[in-house]
Chain A
Amino acid sequence: MLIRPDRDDLQVIGFYLGKVMVGVGYVLGAPMLVAAVMGDWDDLTAFLLGAGLSISIGRLAERRFATTQQLDWSHGLVTAALSWLLGAALFAVPLDLSGHYGSYVDAYFEAMSGLTATGLTLTQDIDHMSVSVNLLRHITHFLGGQGIIIVMLTGLGSSSGQVSTLYVGEGRDDRILPNVVRTARFIYLVASVYLVVGTIALALAGLVAGFSPLRSVIHGLNLFMAAFDTGGFATNSTSISYYHSAAIEGVLIVLMVAGALSFLLHYELWRGRRREVLENLEVRTIAVTGLITTSLLLLGLARAGTFTDVGSLFRKGVFSAISAHTSTGFTVNASRMFVTDWGRIAPAALLMALALGGMASSTAGGVKGIRVGLAAKSVSRDVRRAIQPDAAVVAVTYTQRHRRRITDAPVRSAITILVLYVLLFLSGALVGVYYGVPFEQALFESTSASVNGGMSVGVLEPGTPLPMKLTYTAQMWLGRLEFMAVFALLGYGIALVRGRI
């Protein structure tokens, strides 16, 4: 029997949504400051309007729904799902006012793509976009990569008990430290250290590449946020090929890999437990799938004759493979060249790498290494059972912080999510096919949106039919929250209508 949510349920959800909206308003202060310094007055007023709107609505919601009630699991999941929808809607306001989007839907798509660290874009004339608006796009990566609610609520002084359910709702399942606030602070610490070191490294590489000091810092900061948060936005239309710099590509590879590692693994490394890296099932899985997809990609590029020398083959091939496997989505060639110059095997290898993704509880997307690893271990267990005598006991173990024995519950959960992802890829591809896109290209674009990958073969562009844009937007949202929070929201909606008091 479904129980209809009551007024207290809606009150607690409304209260925390209000807090998130206030947080969005404060975040807009950063690009506003940059707009003021650069003298971009229309951008400044766009940010001020967005911030004023967010804070006004947020404060009103906090006041109207004021409560001391704790969030339970369902509240947490529903609040997480709605926060991402509302956050994107509010960030879309200054983006839309920037004049670079053909409609509010396009601006909303961009904000969702930024927050979910996807990196697909509908920006028009990005090469004439102002520094401050471009910065906002990249800030959405930084917020979304860490987890928008955790950033907002811990930043605004909420207690651990208040935010713990939201932490799970945002697709995170590893609590690194005893409480969520301390875990969130550790996540900030890791991100901040990488922010400083990564931006300096990229700015220095930019100087060597020929940028002016100010421009190298601007590019360095934006590139950092897009790389570490495995987002994939770029400040210009040609992504990483704009820089013509092996040094920049090298630093980006390090940052993308760091972003695709779980914060738990960062914690273990922080504490000097290097053995965890070697024994961790997820790390091993990603090492194997990374090797396979990179080899396939190189083979495909060599077969297609895309590059004329071995150095270029490895430089572009390895960068693209890592960019895809970490679900970042940076490219070193124009999108159309995946179709016109990469043959058939290489794009297929990219698609595989995109779908697999990084580690759970990292900034990366994809179905995640742990699920693939658990499914593989489960298959291995079943095969061993089949070839052993009936009385033999087959125990398969794996290491994930500590040694664990494979049981049916986590395997079932992993396979359920894997199946859901595959269904999501296919359903998005079908929408593309309906609008006349060849199946392979539709599948590539759909997968890229679903796993928050951000690579494109050129299907998505401002003129793409509205239903396709909406489909990709929903896929990015579902993929980032890994289904559960969205399903909880749908269930809540049904219970509101059909549930019993």
Chain B
Amino acid sequence: MTRRPVSARAVGEIAVAVVIVIAVIVTIRILRDSAPQARLPHVGTAAPDSDDPDIVTCERTLPDAEETQQAIDQVEPVGLISSTEVLECPDAFDQQVVVYVGEVIGDVLNRDGGAWLLVNDDDYALEVGPLRGHGDYRGGNSGLAVWLPAPLPDLEPGRGDVRGTVIQVRGRIHRSDAADGGGLTLRALSADTVSILREAQDLDRPVHRAQAVAAVLFALLAAGITLQARRSESRR
């Protein structure tokens, strides 16, 4: 079989194709960056005002894991904490009574006379709201698993375009919660130690029209090329 060398025209075609692909990617970036903002104003912090929260550090002396319940109960409350602090130094917070503020996320898992929640205290939860509403990138999420005993307040979890209820919980950190199979949890001391700081909010985002127009154009192009290809095949 004779070998047919790659022609200059073919190389040119490949170069044009690469340029088109890069142009499409750039267009997509422009489209994404031009997404309309939510009508929700800057949501602001939901944390309680505190000039000098008593924040625990990793230098703190730990209560021994085998400490008696009585001794654990005598541990002084340590004030407002963040999930990042706890995850960076879980041992330091074990059995501490803390105050934690965050947004209820995903699902409220009602069972066994209470509910499990994921409560985030990252910037999306407490500062700027869900990412899609503003495009202000603040990294990943951070939160703690929280157990609330019944009766529960009226909670709407955050997901998609909903900014969930922001709650304040006073509870005890369990570095390895045997009742949860060893998970790191925050158990509210009682139903009375949970309060709602902000109700859930919907992100009222207008439809991204430029993206919709581009999508329809590409869909029509794809349909046109497919139909033409089918016609050519049937003619053959």
Contacts and interface: CB of A to CB of B under 8 A. Distances in A.
Interface of A: 4-8, 10, 25, 38, 40-42, 45-46, 48-49, 51-57, 59-60, 62-64, 89, 93, 96-100, 102, 104, 123-131, 208-212, 215, 235-238, 241-244, 246, 249, 305-309, 311-313, 315-316, 332-334, 336-337, 340-341, 461-463, 496, 501
Given A7-B6, A102-B137, A124-B140, 17 more contacts: A42-B35, A49-B219, A59-B229, A99-B131, A104-B29, A124-B131, A124-B139, A128-B124, A128-B160, A211-B107, A306-B182, A308-B65, A336-B87, A337-B90, A337-B184, A462-B137, A463-B139
Q: Is the interface of A mostly helix, strand, loop or mixed?
A: helix
A238 B184 CA distance: 11
Contact of B7 (A7, A93, A243, A341): A7
A307 B182 CA distance: 6
B111 A127 contact: no
Contacts, number: 234
Contact of A100 (B131, B182, B208): B131
Nearest to B4: A7
Contact of A237 (B25, B140, B178, B218): B140
Given A97-B32, A128-B131, A6 B225 contact: no
B105 interface: yes
B140 A496 contact: no
Contacts of A63: 225, 229
A45 B212 contact: yes
Interface of B: 3-7, 10, 13, 21, 24-25, 28-29, 31-32, 35, 65, 87-91, 105-111, 115-116, 118, 120, 122, 124, 130-132, 135, 137-143, 145, 158-163, 175-178, 180-184, 205, 207-208, 211-212, 214-222, 225-226, 229
B215 A334 contact: no
A210 B143 contact: no
Given A45-B212, A237-B142, A333-B184, A127 B159 contact: yes
A49 B140 contact: no
B208 A42 contact: yes
A99 B32 contact: yes
Most buried by B among A59, A104, A501: A59
Given A125-B124, A341-B91, A93 B182 contact: no
B222 A52 contact: yes
**Nearest 10 CB-CB pairs, A to B?**
A312-B182, A52-B218, A210-B109, A125-B131, A55-B222, A237-B141, A128-B130, A49-B215, A48-B215, A45-B215
Given A6-B4, A315-B182, A336-B87, A62 B141 contact: no
B87 A340 contact: yes
Nearest to A496: B6
A8 B120 contact: no
B207 A41 contact: yes
8 contacts: A45-B212, A49-B214, A49-B219, A52-B219, A59-B225, A59-B226, A60-B225, A462-B140
A388 to B, nearest CB: 50
B59 to A, nearest CB: 14
Nearest to A41: B207
A99 B205 CA distance: 13
Most buried by A among B87, B107, B145: B107
Contacts of B161: 40, 128, 130
